[in-house]
Amino acid sequence: MNVGRAKERGVPDFLVERIKEKGIEELNPPQEQAINSGVLEGENMIVSSPTASGKTLIATLSIGKTLREGKKALYLVPLKALASEKYRDYKELFEGKDYRVGMNVGDKDSSGKRLASKDLIIMTVEKLDAILRHKPSWIKDVGLVVEDEIHLLNSEERGPTVEVTLTRLKDILDFQVLGLSATISNSDELAEWLDAELVKSEYRPVDLKEGVYHSEGIEYYLNSEDIKSPKKQKKATFKTGKEKLEEREVETELKTEKKNLRTNKSRATLNVLENTLSQDKQMISFVRSRKSAESEAEKQGKVTKGNLSREEHRKLEELSKRVKNVLGNPTKQCKRLSRCIKHGTAFHHAGLVGEQRHLIEDAFKDNLIKSISATPTLAAGVSLPAYRIVIRDVKRYTNSGLDFIPVLEYKQMAGRAGRPEHHDEGEAIAVAKDSGSKEEIRDRYILGEPEKIYSKLAMEPVLRMHTLSLIATGFAPDFDSLEDFFSKTFYAYQYGEISEIKEKLKGIVEKLEEYDFVEAKDRNLRPTKLGKRVSELYIDPKTAYHLIETLEEAREKEETASVGLLQAIANTVEMQPLLKVKKGDKADLEDLLQKTEDRLLEEIPEPWEDYDYNRFLKSFKTALMLEGWINEEDEDEMMERFGVTPGGIRAKVENADWLLYACQEIATLKEWENMRNRTKKLRTRVKHGIKEELVRLVRFKGIGRVRARRLYEKGIETTSDIREVGFTRLKKMVGKRTAKRLKEEVGQDNVFDKENVLDYFKKD
């Protein structure tokens, strides 16, 4: 079917033409099937197909039809990075027309009022859940909800929120739902639950060759028939005689089997990379840990650096400087990443800060970075033009030891190979530790079926948070309506009844009463003022009650030590996972704990209470890390002391900032003015990573921890100091643009020391 036929189904002409400008003239099989099944006539639909099979185009056509009909469209994504990518793409498609594209992934306490003027809204499902707690008036105008990666219902972290939010929308809106899913075994169950048509396809616009690398080379399998027919198996090897000799020499020198295995896998990855570069193509390798990602990237750099042009070397040199200086004061990790980038490689994991990840992704899209070594988080990330994917590790460490990764996760990683806008085919290669494990990988992953997805709704912390939300928004004014709501969930559909959930709901409501968040009488349920605010703050009710007790304890003390409040907020579900306490840390931590005991707000559990005591130690270590941050400790020293990366620091800082904001709001509601001021000051310090003397300076735009410290050390501490300092002197401290902005903020937009007026107006 020609894409132009979409105009006949109500898709705006301009949108069809812009899609054609991107080189898309014909609809592929799943796209055509979706249209024939009524996606442009408002039918609910689940599209279950491999990565790169064109699911986004189905969503795009549906969005265009919805907007043309005067309704809003919501595009829900699991990750902020995906939201940014979708926002850029859709902004470009709708630019210059009457439709406005908006994105919201930030403040959890926002009612989203500014979104009322947007037509297409892109956000994470958690953000939508938070907004629904404020009952926005514009939600009634929504005609289409696109749920990207809907198979994440299976995720313990995100699944319950996806499930509850979709159930809630089904009750309050008359809308079309379009779920986009990877290939899963029970997509039919998902479709039946949502009363949706199912489009299930194995189609990929480019062929995906899946292979296993073992001691004799690589065996490729195009499909299941190839596996069943040995004659159709394709073998290849990238090893030269010299490489085989080098590998044998390495094997004889190594002492342990574990080390030997790791070296073989690294050599295999390098062999594939050499061949990939010889075809002028790019590669992503997936490994199980951040440490492995970094070491692999360094090794791969020895291969890629010899395949770069002079111009590429120049551009990579510039990029490496940008990446290194993202934090102002580069850490060892920043410098390590910078060195890799100079050679055309990079590592990619959650320990990097967001700006570094974006720079790497953009450079890979521009074919500047040739190879990325990543943890599996990148498999659910942005679209990157990798011809080859190498899955070096098909096992990872879990609570039960070293276990195989799920088939669905393997398929997600393998599916990143070969993008239709860049390649005619793609290759996914899993590395076997030896030729004997080749068949196991082949049968489990290449031939294997992805697992079924199951509801994770019955977990108590999840139920507690969503139960309060349903009561606080008036959605469940009594027990009957509360139980009725949960009877409409995917959990109820899968298990046929909700007796386990009903039993838990009774205990949860009793606890909410005890916390003074809910009043229950004769099965009627109503929120208290405090309970309503806790729901809006988007924190676990148990956490909120813990914060109330903490603040009451702090009120008894004239001055609250920062470490005490930081430990209390660290000891919450929102701060998970906490920093690990290693054997070498424990004695030092316990010694420091004794010395700090009088500054803490929580009672220390007895050492024989293993679970509570160990969790307390973890929360204490996390608090010490945050205290180091607000005392402007060098990040390299923090990495050494706490085993935490810059990205890890900022993830904890973001969560701590939110919990301190919750403390501030609770203190305001309780009319504890002193505690409100204390938590507000500590929150500012945590947000910016500063000592107390810099709090006033960071209120100015463009002034963070580095510039604030620079100003303070030059005697600039207050608004009047900024007024009095000459523009030229100020410019030397913070840069010309920031100096201009500072002068404007203190009311001196046209007043400067006379000798520097001309200097002010010089172009940057």
Among 514, 536, 558, the domain boundary falls at 536
In this structure, what DSSP letter does residue 152 have? G
pTM above 0.95, yes or no: no
Can you tell me the distance from the alpha carbon of 416 to that of 432, in angstroms, rounded to the nearest whole number?
20
Whether 623 maps to a domain, the answer reads yes
Q: Are residues 169 and 239 in the same domain?
A: no
Q: Are 118 and 101 in contact (CB under 8 A)?
A: yes
Per-residue confidence (pLDDT) for residue 222, from 0 to 100? 63
Can you tell me the distance from the alpha carbon of 634 to that of 286, in angstroms, rounded to the nearest whole number?
31
Among 536, 553, 576, the domain boundary falls at 536
Per-residue confidence (pLDDT) for residue 182, from 0 to 100? 86
Q: Are residues 290 and 379 in the same domain?
A: yes
Q: Are residues 673 and 727 in the same domain?
A: no
* Three-state secondary structure call for residue 394: coil
In this structure, what DSSP letter does residue 451 have? P
* Structural domain harbouring 489: 460-536
Could you give phi then psi for residue 748, rounded to 5 degrees? -120, 40
In one letter, which amino acid is 450?
Answer: P
Whether 452 maps to a domain, the answer reads no
Q: Which residue has the tokens 């990666």?
A: 149
Whether 29 maps to a domain, the answer reads yes
For residue 574, the domain's CATH number is: 1.10.3380.30
Q: Are 563 and 599 in contact (CB under 8 A)?
A: yes
Q: Are residues 545 and 532 in the same domain?
A: no
What's the average pLDDT block by block, 10 residues per block, for the chain (764 residues)?
87 92 90 95 95 91 96 93 89 88 80 89 93 92 95 90 94 94 91 96 90 87 50 43 34 34 73 94 95 95 95 96 91 96 96 94 96 89 89 88 91 90 91 84 92 91 93 94 95 92 94 96 94 95 96 82 93 94 89 90 88 93 96 93 93 96 96 93 95 93 90 92 90 90 84 50 49
Report cis status (omega within 30 of 0) of the bond before 577: yes
Q: How many domains does the chain contain in total?
A: 5
Q: Are residues 487 and 614 in the same domain?
A: no
- Which residues does residue 199 pair with via DSSP β-bridges, in sequence order? 47
Q: Are residues 647 and 714 in the same domain?
A: no
In one letter, which amino acid is 734?
Answer: V
Per-residue confidence (pLDDT) for residue 217, from 0 to 100? 81
Rg (CA), the chain: 28
Q: Are residues 408 and 473 in the same domain?
A: no
In one letter, which amino acid is 504?
Answer: K
Dig out the tokens for 198 from the structure: 């199912």
Whether 32 maps to a domain, the answer reads yes
Among 637, 655, 689, the domain boundary falls at 689
Q: Are residues 473 and 411 in the same domain?
A: no
Q: Are residues 611 and 469 in the same domain?
A: no
Whether 455 maps to a domain, the answer reads no
Report cis status (omega within 30 of 0) of the bond before 230: no
- Please name which of 494, 483, 427 lies closest in space to residue 454, comparing C-alpha atoms: 494
Q: Are residues 89 and 104 in the same domain?
A: yes
Per-residue confidence (pLDDT) for residue 413, from 0 to 100? 93
Whether 334 maps to a domain, the answer reads yes
Whether 360 maps to a domain, the answer reads yes
Helices (H), 556-645: 562-570, 583-596, 610-630, 635-642
Q: Are residues 636 and 733 in the same domain?
A: no
